[in-house]
Amino acid sequence: MMDASSAAALAARNAYGRLLAYLAVRTRDVSAAEDALGDAFLQALTTWPNRGVPTNPEAWLLVIARRRLIDGARRTQTQAKALKLLDLDGFESASTAELMTFPDERLKLLFVCAHPAIDAKLHTPLMLQTILGLNAAQIGSAFLVPPTTMGQRLVRVKAKIRDAGIPFELPSGVKLAERSHAVLQAIYAAYNADWTAANGSDCKQLGLSQEAMWLAELCAQLMPDEPEAYGLLALIRYCESRRSARKTPEGRYVPLLEQDTTLWSRKLISEAELALKQAASYQCLGGFQLEAAIQSIHAQRLHTGHVDWKQLSQLYAGLIQIAPTVGAHVGYVAVIAHTQSAAKALVQLNSIQDKGLQTYQPYWAVKADLLKQVGEIEKAKQAYSQAIGLSEDPAVRAFLSEKSLELVNQR
C-alpha cells in the first residue's frame, strides 16, 4: 500500500489543477479555492496515516475542500447570501458519489488566467500556480522576480478576478480564438523560462520544461479541434528532445548545429512528428505549426546527417508572414547566411525594425558571428560583448567569450 505522504503527493501532482479548477469555477474565487484545497491536503497528511488512504483520494480531497468553502461562507455571511454569492447552490448538496466523477474544468481556468483584463505578463505565472500548483518562490525564480514580489502580484490578480467578476467560462467566436492563442503563448513562455533561472541556475530543477509540456498536452486534449495546440505540443517535444545534447558532461554549451544527434531522444522526436501530423490534418496553418516544422527539419539531421537549408528558408519566410516576431526575423537571417552569404544576411539583419532588438540576445549573437565572417572585427567584438551581457546562462556566456577571444588572432 502507498503511504499517506506519497498518496497525497501523487494526488497533488495528478489532480491539483483539476480539483482547483472545479472549486474555482463554482466559487469564482481562486484564492478561496486554493485555501480550501490547501486545508484539504493538510488534513489528508494528518488523517490518512491513521485511517488509511481512501479508495478515491481525489474525491476525498474535494469533499473536504468543499466543506471548508461552505463553512467559510457561513462564517462570513448568512448561508443564503453566501451560497448565492459564491454560486454554491447545488454544490452544497452534491453527494460524494457525484463528486467522485467531477468534471474537468481546467480549460475554463486556463482561459481565466489568460483573460485580457489580466496583465499579459502574469498569464504564465498564474497558470503555473493555479493549474500546476507551483509556489511563488518557484515561479519568481523562473522569471527572475523576488518571491515576495511575485506572490503579491499573484494575490492582486486573483483578487481582481474575484472582484471584477471575470466569468469562469469558455468564450466563443473570435474571442475564443484570441484567448486560445494567449493560453498557448503563455505555455510557450513557461517552456522558454526553463532555459535559465535566477543567477544562471538550471531551471530544470523547477521542472518548468516538463510542466510546460504537460500543459501543452492538456491543451491538445481539452482543445481537440485547435491545430495550434498540437503545433505547440510538437514544438515543445522537438525542443525537449535535444536537452541531453545542449551541454557536454562538463557543462560546456553546444550550439544546435554542433550537437551530437545520437544524444537526441528518438521517442520525443517521434511523438513530436505525430503531433505535427495531427496539426497538419486540419489544413489551417499557424505560427506554432511552422515553428514546429522548422524544428522538424533540424530533427531530420538525425537520419540524413545534414540540414535542408532550402526548406528552412521557405518555412521561415512563411513564419514571418504569419507571425513576424523578432525571433522569426533573426532565425531567417541565420538561414540566409547559410543559403546565400554572411554579407547578405547582415544586410537583412540591419533592416529589421523592432524595439526589442537591443535586448534580444540571439540578435547580438547572430550579428557578432556575421560581422566576424565579413571581417568587421571591432564591430564583431562589440556585438559579442552585447550578447555576453544579455546571456543569463553561464555556459552560453563562456561559449561567446571564447568566440570573442578568437577575434584577437584575426586582427
| Terminal C-alpha separation, the chain | 70
pLDDT tens digits for the chain (411 residues)? 457 788 777 777 778 888 999 899 888 899 999 999 999 999 988 888 888 888 888 888 988 998 888 887 777 664 454 454 454 445 544 555 554 556 778 888 988 998 989 998 899 899 888 887 888 888 887 776 889 999 999 999 999 999 998 988 888 777 777 788 888 988 888 888 765 443 334 444 446 788 788 889 988 988 888 999 999 999 999 999 999 999 999 999 999 999 999 999 999 999 999 999 999 999 999 999 999 999 999 999 999 999 999 999 999 999 999 999 899 999 999 999 999 999 999 999 999 987 778 889 999 999 999 999 999 999 999 999 999 999 988 999 999 999 999 887 665
In angstroms, rounded to a whole number, what is the distance separating the alpha carbons of residues 163 and 36?
A: 19
The per-residue pLDDT for 97 is 52
Phi, psi values for residue 247, rounded to 5°:
-140, 150
The per-residue pLDDT for 73 is 73
Which burial class, exposed, middle or buried, applies to 312 when counting CB atoms under 10 A from its CB (0-12, 13-18, 19+)?
Answer: buried
In angstroms, rounded to a whole number, what is the distance separating the alpha carbons of residues 12 and 31?
A: 17
In angstroms, rounded to a whole number, what is the distance separating the alpha carbons of residues 227 and 225?
A: 6
Q: What is the 3-state secondary structure (H, E, C) of 33-74?
A: HHHHHHHHHHHHHHHHHHHCCCCCHHHHHHHHHHHHHHHHHH
What cell was used for 145?
A: 522576480
Query: At which residue does the C-alpha cell 513557461 appear?
Result: 190
C-alpha count within 13 angstroms, C-beta hemisphere, residue 338: 14
Query: At which residue does the C-alpha cell 492538456 appear?
Result: 218
- Within 8 A by CB and 6+ apart from 197, the residues are 141, 142, 144, 203, 205, 206
In angstroms, rounded to a whole number, what is the distance separating the alpha carbons of residues 282 and 278?
A: 7
Q: Is the pTM of this model over 0.85?
A: no
The per-residue pLDDT for 332 is 97
Query: At which residue does the C-alpha cell 554579407 appear?
Result: 343
Return the ∠ at Cα 300 (arms to 299 and 301), rounded to 5°.
90
- Within 8 A by CB and 6+ apart from 188, the residues are 212, 232, 235, 236, 288
In angstroms, rounded to a whole number, what is the distance separating the alpha carbons of residues 47 and 64?
A: 12
Return the ∠ at Cα 107 (arms to 102 and 110), rounded to 5°.
125
In angstroms, rounded to a whole number, what is the distance separating the alpha carbons of residues 390 and 364?
A: 9
What cell was used for 131?
A: 493549474
- Within 8 A by CB and 6+ apart from 381, the residues are 368, 404, 407
Identity of the residue numbered 237: R
The per-residue pLDDT for 77 is 60
What cell was used for 389?
A: 551581457
Which burial class, exposed, middle or buried, applies to 38 when counting CB atoms under 10 A from its CB (0-12, 13-18, 19+)?
Answer: middle
Query: At which residue does the C-alpha cell 509540456 appear?
Result: 213
Residue 239 contacts residue 384 (beta carbons within 8 Å): no
In angstroms, rounded to a whole number, what is the distance separating the alpha carbons of residues 342 and 380?
A: 13
